[in-house]
Structure 1
Amino acid sequence: MDPNTKTILFFALFSLYLSLSNILVAEPYTYDQNPENGPEGWSKLDHQWKICNHGKLQSPIDLTRGRVSRVHDEAWKIHHKPAEAVIMSRGHDIMVSWKGDAGKMMIDHTEFKLVQCHWHSPSEHTINGTHYDMELHMVHTSAQSQTAVIAVLYKLGRPNEFLTTLQNEIKTVGKEEKKLGIVDPRTIGFHTDKFYRYVGSLTAPPCTEGVIWTVVKKVYFFCVICRWIFIY
């Protein structure tokens, strides 16, 4: 099997792993359409999660809804940088968490530091009702404990460079943190001048509202061999 085919196969299996992660690792809640512990029943599992089903600013949403702003801002600056990181499974997703200073982004003069990234498959947000193959969340927090998330939507196609560099660790990921060494979040690579923005919530319990969502408008994938970004 040639290297390209192997990497594409890994990418497909990674998406499958994410979609089955609630089955593989027991969690008090799931993303399955189960009335007991699925999204429709989260508020019944813990009284502190009541907002999950009764909040006014819940995420995810369809990005064509009225509360979403379509922004073209060439001045929006992101200053990510390499730092020590670990990887682990949280049951409902796989997370890379930076232990060192992985940089920041600025929104309305507020500084948000990059904390972690994780993946969902299929995508949580939709565009005109369409789910995409995968969604990456880059979670940032401010000194005032406010959360801001950059989301990137993917179509399954050519291999993803960032995932490819992590594939050996992902194959053996478990509930315990595994050291990755230095991980550069800039290798995720995305265009930042056109995006959707709205105020929503965490997409898992406790579903805290007030999260600033920035969803990159372009849906794309990475080419591992040439390392160019192919954008749809």
Structure 2
Amino acid sequence: MHQSSIYSFLIIFLLIFLLHYSKSSVVTAQEVEDEKEFDYSESGEKGPAHWGDLKQEWGACKSGGMQSPIDMSSDRVQVVAKSPDIQRTYYPCNAILKNRGHDISLQWLNNSAGMIKINGSADNYILQQGHWHSPSEHTINGRRFDLELHMVHVCPDPNVTNYIAVIALLYKIGPPDPFLSKLMENVMPIADQMAERNIGEIDPKDIKMGGRKYYRYMGSLTVPPCTEGVIWTINKKIRTVSQDQVNALRTAVHDFAEVNARPLQPLNSRRVQLYDPGPENTPN
């Protein structure tokens, strides 16, 4: 092989590697983790109303037309009578619990926690992390719930445009959530500080989804930079969480984030679908 051909091959290989690496680390790069850069204050200069003005690259928070969260109201939902099209393949994997100041995040390591497939596509969306918002960010017919879990997945294929997919679970006060019960002893040691804790092997399958009905729409990240093109799947089944568990997640973060739900965003012309394989297919 001629020397020029070798150089050309190396350059092409490097470009491919960089493209894949940038997508595999996209969640870390795109979800702002420095809690000093923004907050949830309604009246403060760093609150949600001002996110789009704080940095040029956060402009979508202000001017984007596909922002999240939204309300899933019956009069705007299109019912789709079909079986669920989410294929989940999760594995136990080492993880860290991280206090990001504005939320508590469970981050699986080395892209080894498994993946999901959606819309019948062959694309794999790798599970990266999960984090909690209280109260819930999404609402159903105007009802806001006590807690919302976001499970963030990323497709490493550089050719996939909508490469972030989030599965959201909603919770109301009731019996404790078994998965959160396993994490609680690790939450308080990282309370009120930007810190992380290695918690060993965590199996994502222990997060029980439940139900066969779910909402689907195109939206954005709900924290800066509010990147659009996120595929949202919100499970319609409402799970339960204890008040003590909610309180623990709230008190562990900094004071401004004890309520860390972004306000609802305009739907604009977007379509919201309710996948309902049941016989009645009603969006209630």
TM-score (norm 2): 0.66
CA separation of 1:87 and 1:70: change in aligned 2, threshold 3 A: farther
Instruction: Tell me which protein shows more helix as a share of its residues.
Output: 2
Report the Cα offset of residue 220 of structure 1: 1.5
Task: Name the residue aligned to 1:215.
Answer: 234
- Structure 1 CA distance for aligned equivalents of residues 129 and 63 of structure 2: 27
- Structure 1 CA distance for aligned equivalents of residues 219 and 126 of structure 2: 19
Which AA in structure 2 matches 1:36? E
Structure 2 segments unaligned to the other structure (5+ residues): 1-33, 243-284
Which AA in structure 1 matches 2:234? V
Task: Name the residue aligned to 1:76.
Answer: 86
- Structure 2 CA distance for aligned equivalents of residues 68 and 115 of structure 1: 29
- Structure 1 CA distance for aligned equivalents of residues 183 and 156 of structure 2: 30
1:179 pairs, out of 152, 174, 198, with 198
- Structure 2 CA distance for aligned equivalents of residues 168 and 117 of structure 1: 17
Task: Name the residue aligned to 2:104.
Answer: 94
CA contact (8 A) 2:147 2:170 kept: yes
Cα deviation digits, residues 146-169 of structure 1 (max 9, x gap): 100000000011111111001110
2:133 pairs, out of 91, 102, 120, with 120
Report the Cα offset of residue 128 of structure 1: 1.3
Task: Name the residue aligned to 2:59.
Answer: 50
Which one has more relative contact order, counting CA pairs under 8 Å at least 6 apart? 2
Task: Name the residue aligned to 1:133.
Answer: 146
Cα deviation digits, residues 90-137 of structure 1 (max 9, x gap): 111000000041111101312101000000000000111111000000
2:187 pairs, out of 170, 174, 182, with 170
Task: Name the residue aligned to 1:59.
Answer: 68
Identity %: 43
Structure 1 segments unaligned to the other structure (5+ residues): 1-24, 224-232
Runs of 4+ in 1 over 3 A off after TM superposition: 65-72
CA separation of 1:68 and 1:150: change in aligned 2, threshold 3 A: farther
- Structure 1 CA distance for aligned equivalents of residues 72 and 126 of structure 2: 25
SS at match of 1:170: helix
Report the Cα offset of residue 178 of structure 1: 1.2
CA separation of 1:65 and 1:28: change in aligned 2, threshold 3 A: farther
Which AA in structure 2 matches 1:80? Y
CA contact (8 A) 2:94 2:201 kept: yes
Cα deviation digits, residues 15-36 of structure 1 (max 9, x gap): xxxxxxxxxx952211221252
Task: Name the residue aligned to 1:41.
Answer: 50
- Structure 1 CA distance for aligned equivalents of residues 229 and 236 of structure 2: 21
Higher mean displacement: 32-41 or 209-218: 32-41
CA separation of 1:27 and 1:65: change in aligned 2, threshold 3 A: farther
Q: Does 1:29 align with 2:38?
A: yes
The total of aligned residue pairs comes to 199
Report the Cα offset of residue 54 of structure 1: 0.9
CA contact (8 A) 1:117 1:136 kept: yes
- Structure 1 CA distance for aligned equivalents of residues 41 and 77 of structure 2: 26
Larger Rg: 2
CA contact (8 A) 2:35 2:100 kept: no
Task: Name the residue aligned to 1:12.
Answer: none
